[in-house]
Structure 1
Amino acid sequence: MTQTGPPDRDLVAAVAAGDETAFGTLFDRHSRAVYNHAFRLSGSWSVAEDVTQATFLVAWRRRGEVRLTHGTALPWLLVVAGNHVRTEWRSARRRRALLGRVPVEHGPDPADDVAGRLDDERAMGRILRAVRRLPRAEREAVALCLWSGVGYAEAAAALGVTEVAVRSRVSRARARLAALLGPAVKEDQR
């Protein structure tokens, strides 16, 4: 996809000076990638929406601290989104533990039964269970490089490691995921 408008470097500088229009342009440019990244990490469209909003709120609040990687703010935004998803997981675990102590009986809301979204979330949940079994370094490499299309060099800069290390993590993650997901992956590819 061809980038139109000023480069991220100019936008980030303008945003640091408080330019809301430049921030809107930065949001328009990267919000879809952040949203997709958050969905891939969380397996939930609604969590992805919340994480995207929180990520750009942090970007505005910390506008003087946004780091560019190879001229783009996207890797920094994706790392912020990943941190928000981890926070959401911890909060969800605490909520589930609390709800587990309270006897509640309720059925699913028919309004939430949107087939496509549920299928996506079910499939992503299965993949996430496998990805969560990977070491953290491999999960981060998968999330940035495979899911969000960040280049190896940009991912390496965002994670503070070498490009070779990122490539190695992605390779090991692919092998482990193939073993974890096994025959179902082959069936899905037909």
Structure 2
Amino acid sequence: MTDSEDTDDDHALLTRLAIGDRAALAAAFDRFAPTLTRYAWAVAPSRMDVEELVQDTLLTLWQKAASIELPTGSLLPWLLVVCRNHSRNLLRRQLRTQGDPLPDDLAAPPQEEDARERLRWVRDEIDALAPLDRRICELCLLEGHSYSEAAALLGLSAGAVTKRVSRSRARLKKAVMHDEH
């Protein structure tokens, strides 16, 4: 599947969600829950919180489908922003429940901001990859596809995807070693 087919699928999925198609919600869950779960683990302290964030994010998708606009054509960035916003709300609720004062700036939980800063070089390195290598990293690392699934989506052999991921990892490792010295 190409990028344009992915965005066509996202638009079609969104249209089906907007008319209340429950099968579309199930399809959205199957497609996006693994990525949302990985992201939620980065911003939530417990398994229960992770599950709540994924459910809340998909519920928001269901409720707002008719009004969602996709400037990039892809639904995943919108879902990740919604998940992040739900994580902030969850943190606020937890702090209030514990009687702790809210931080002055709750724009991003401190652990999220620290993680984002520590991984900035990873995003920069992935952005610097050739377009095909960057897409393979997105499919395998961000969207959770297996190498064989990514290969099928891109019309490549699993061996080619494996080699490209290996090269990309070596590049990232080299960047880490250079950054540490």
TM-score by length of 1: 0.50
Query: 5 Å matches for 1:5-154?
Result: 7-97=9-99, 131-133=112-114, 149=142
Identity of aligned residues (%): 28
Q: Residues of 2 paired with 1:82 and 1:130: CA distance?
A: 12
- Amino acid corresponding to residue 24 of structure 2 in structure 1: A
- The residue number in structure 2 matching 1:181 is none
Query: How far is 1:17 from its partner?
Result: 1.6
Query: How far is 1:149 from its partner?
Result: 3.1
Find the residue that maps to 1:60 and give its secondary structure.
helix
Q: Residues of 1 paired with 2:2 and 2:47: CA distance?
A: 26
Count of residue pairs the alignment pairs up: 117
Q: Is the 8 A contact 2:11 2:73 kept in 1?
A: yes
- The residue number in structure 1 matching 2:133 is none
Q: Is the 8 A contact 2:43 2:111 kept in 1?
A: no
- Amino acid corresponding to residue 51 of structure 2 in structure 1: E
Q: Residues of 1 paired with 2:112 and 2:20: CA distance?
A: 39
Q: Is the 8 A contact 2:57 2:86 kept in 1?
A: yes
- Amino acid corresponding to residue 26 of structure 1 in structure 2: A
Would the alpha carbon gap of residues 130 and 77 (structure 1) be closer, same or farther in structure 2, given more than 3 Å must change? closer
Query: How far is 1:12 from its partner?
Result: 0.7
Find the residue that maps to 1:64 and give its secondary structure.
helix
Q: Residues of 2 paired with 1:39 and 1:89: CA distance?
A: 14
Extract structure 1 runs of 4+ deviating beyond 4 A.
1-6, 128-131
Query: How far is 1:13 from its partner?
Result: 1.1
Query: How far is 1:27 from its partner?
Result: 1.5
Deviations 1:161-181 (A, max 9, x none): xxxxxxxxxxxxxxxxx9xxx
Q: Residues of 2 paired with 1:13 and 1:75: CA distance?
A: 17
Query: How far is 1:88 from its partner?
Result: 0.6
Q: Residues of 1 paired with 2:110 and 2:89: CA distance?
A: 17
